[in-house]
Amino acid sequence: MFEALKGIKILDLTSVVVGPVATWRLSQYGAEVIKIEHPTGDLMRGLGGKSPSGQHSGTYLHLNRGKRNLCLDLKSPQANSITEKLIDWCDVVIANMRPDALERLGLGPKAIQSKHPEKIYCLISGYGTEGPYAGLPTYDSVLQGVSGIAGLSQLRDGKPAYVPMLICDHVVGEITSAAIMAAIIDRFKTGKGAFVEVPMFETMATFVLQEHLAQKSFEPPVGPVGDLRLLSPHNQPVKTKDGYISFTINTDPQVQAFLKATDRSELLKDPRFQSIASRAEFVSEWFEVRGAALMSRTTEEWLITLRAVDIPAMPCHTIDTLIKDPHLNQVNLMSSENHPVEGKTVVIRSSIKNNGEYAPVNSFAQPKGHDTLPILKELGYSEKEIAEIIETKAAYTYEV
């Protein structure tokens, strides 16, 4: 599986998070990814936090493994012939720039597919190419707001809130990689290219509506929007004597075991909590019971008690405790390597296994222009031509 895309070349015109997530995943399946980076660098090199050299944030390192790096000024006239050769060389072009910017550069889907109908062109955009929002700029937090994700907190807590990670970028990036793989499979069958569009707003709005359109999924509606279990203010990690614990109880046996384990056996006869249907009817009251603090014992003590009666329960980690989690450490999710610029760094491997083997971690995220010279040579440029390209600053090369 991890060589399924071996021989497929991907021209990566993406930056920040959503596109790099997609191309990182494709590299996991064996694709050769050629990342085109402007001389000023991908914004995530600095936006993702500090690093020893200031050139590769932790986020950048993790999302750009396994990719070759060609530093190219796409606005330079001398770059046109290079991009044309790259497009001819590659099977897939993926971009997450705004559509109008791509068109100005001659790198939009129409321009490329008119010359190369056999290519797969994937455009990730905030709002697609149709509708009143088409072409507008966006970032993850903006998408969390407009897609209703932040508004879920408003339904629950009285004010909207962002999920404190780039959830839209990660979800859409993974969906994009699957869409590209489907297009590659189709091309093997038909010999035809494709224009794959992934609008982030529609994608994330679909996620929210699939789960929270709820009672308004029917005509006429049978109740309000929202999964009332998830929107309960008591649907939170539960406080213990020394921290927090996360657990979920859904089945009748789990509920009965939970009430006994937490010394609330008197509620076993409460008709509001005796069945899935009754708990759904009295969901607010049930989640208030379920979310009550468990201050009599430590988190570890509660984990032992709840697991003994087969209730799914885990500690509620902070990032600092997550990296010390015994399970993650035993399965070696994280290791270390020496980066040529940043020194010793953490490597996070893929979580996907095939026939007992994890995907290879591939090479480290490259410095800007690390592969400029070898790629230009592979494209057929002579030493003299490459020197001229570098001199005109159409392309840049990494210098140690």
pLDDT digits (tens, 9 = 90+) for 129-155: 999 999 999 999 999 999 999 999 999
Domain map of the chain by residue range?
Answer: 9-207+331-396, 238-315
CATH number for domain 238-315, candidates 3.30.420.40, 3.30.1540.10, 3.30.70.100, 2.40.100.10: 3.30.1540.10
pTM above 0.85, yes or no: yes
HEC string of 308-362 equals HCCCCEEECCCHHHHCCCHHHHHCCCEEEEEECCCEEEEEECCCCEECCEECCCC
CA pair distance 128, 204, nearest whole angstrom = 13
CATH number for domain 9-207+331-396, candidates 1.10.10.10, 3.40.50.10540, 3.40.50.1980, 1.10.150.530: 3.40.50.10540
pLDDT value, residue 399: 75
Q: CB of 142 within 8 A of CB of 168?
A: no
Mean pLDDT of the chain: 96
Q: CB of 127 within 8 A of CB of 172?
A: no
The count of residues in the chain is 400
Q: CB of 143 within 8 A of CB of 137?
A: no
pLDDT at 308 over 80: yes
Cβ burial, residue 398 (10 Å; 0-12/13-18/19+):
middle
pLDDT at 338 over 90: yes
Average pLDDT of span 52-69: 97
Sign, CA torsion 285/290/291/293: positive
pLDDT value, residue 400: 58
Average pLDDT of span 274-302: 95
Question: To 10 degrees, what angle do helices 167-190 and 18-28 make?
Answer: 50
Amino acid making up residue 90: C
pLDDT at 227 over 90: yes
